[in-house]
Amino acid sequence: MIRPVFDRIAIIGAGLIGSSIALAARENGAADKIAIYDANEDVRRRAGQLGLGEVCDTPAATCSDADCVILCVPVGAIETACEALAPSLKPGAILSDVGSVKEKALAAMQAHCPESVHLIPGHPIAGTEKSGPESGFSTLFKNAWYILTPLPQQEEAYNSALDRLAAFWEMLGSKVEIMEAGRHDRVLAITSHLPHLIAYNIVSTAYDMESVGEGEVVKYSAGGFRDFTRIAASDPTMWRDVFLNNREAVLETLGRFSEDLAALQRAIRWGDGDTLMKEFERARGIRKAIIDAGQDTSDVNFGRNTSDKPKH
């Protein structure tokens, strides 16, 4: 018989990540009881209809007697959420989050987290362009990385709590990695944040061109543009907060990207095919490395179904 890691977990925020945690924790037996709260009354109602767990009307009721509290809210809302629930946290509980920016999230939580509570920020490298409680599914975290950014030089009780939180995410199917918060933010700036920024910009540019093309931009969208629109369909509130809270790392990465893009622009202008071939071949090598690492599939057309009939 599988023993749950936590008797009771509290999930604050019933969007894609929060609802997926609830479903995965129940399916895999990682928590005995699941309480969930969202600031939006309609979202709470829908979460209840989906049977995600015990839906509570206040953060205090949600966190009461919880062994682990996970903030699944946009980075910009973490401090407000933490301030509201801090008085309800029991001594020895774990307070964590799932934010894509760790340094600012850590500072926000530290401002209100009681000393008797183990503060352990985290970030699942998983998600889709969908949002809301209906978008969650229990296998979202399967074989995905989960990065923990714990506080340095802690006592034995803290390290024990860290092990429990890691075990919880492993039961949800994640591969757990420990990383310093600042390094996490620099890594995610290039692997996640900048690609989203580029996607938003390309789709915005295409939108401005649409009136010129008389509908042809959408009508003749190739696979590359379709993939950009999928990324750009992500939750705008979440991504606004990501860019505002990780601005230094994003701007540094964006500067390097702009320099490299200018070099390609010059190569095209001057007909420098050798430079273009060199960069394109290097990009193919990185793609192969991602596939070899198990981060994506090598199926034709990225596994997209191209038959006339949809797969079920």
Q: From the first residue on, what is the mean pLDDT of each consecutive set of 10 residues in the chain (312 residues)?
A: 92 96 96 96 95 94 96 94 94 96 94 95 91 94 95 89 97 96 95 92 81 64 77 89 94 95 95 93 82 70 46 36
Identify whether 43 is part of a domain: yes
For strands 145-148 and 122-124, give the pairing: antiparallel
Residue 4 has φ and ψ, to the nearest 5°, of -65, 150
Tell me: do 147 and 189 sit in the same domain. Answer: no
Are residues 193 and 172 part of one domain?
no
CB–CB of 135/49 below 8 Å? no
Same domain assignment for residues 160 and 49: yes
The position carrying tokens 């369909």 is: 233
Does residue 295 lie in a domain region? Answer: no
Which residues form the domain of 234? 183-271
The model's pLDDT over 292-309, given as tens digits with 9 standing for 90+, comes to 777 766 665 555 544 443
pLDDT digits (tens, 9 = 90+) for 65-122: 999 999 999 999 999 999 999 999 999 999 999 999 999 999 999 999 999 999 999 9
**pLDDT confidence of residue 258:** 95
Q: Same domain for 129 and 232?
A: no
> Do 133 and 38 sit in the same domain of this protein?
yes
Given this model, what pLDDT does residue 309 score? 38
C-alpha 59/C-alpha 244 separation (Å) is 26
Q: Tell me, yes or no, whether 190 and 164 share the same domain.
A: no
Structural domain total, the chain: 2
CATH number of 84's domain: 3.40.50.720
CA gap 37, 56 in Å, rounded: 5
**What angle in degrees, to the nearest 10, is found between the helix axes of 78-85 and 103-110?**
30
Domain boundary (119, 153, 179) is at 179
Q: pTM value?
A: 0.86
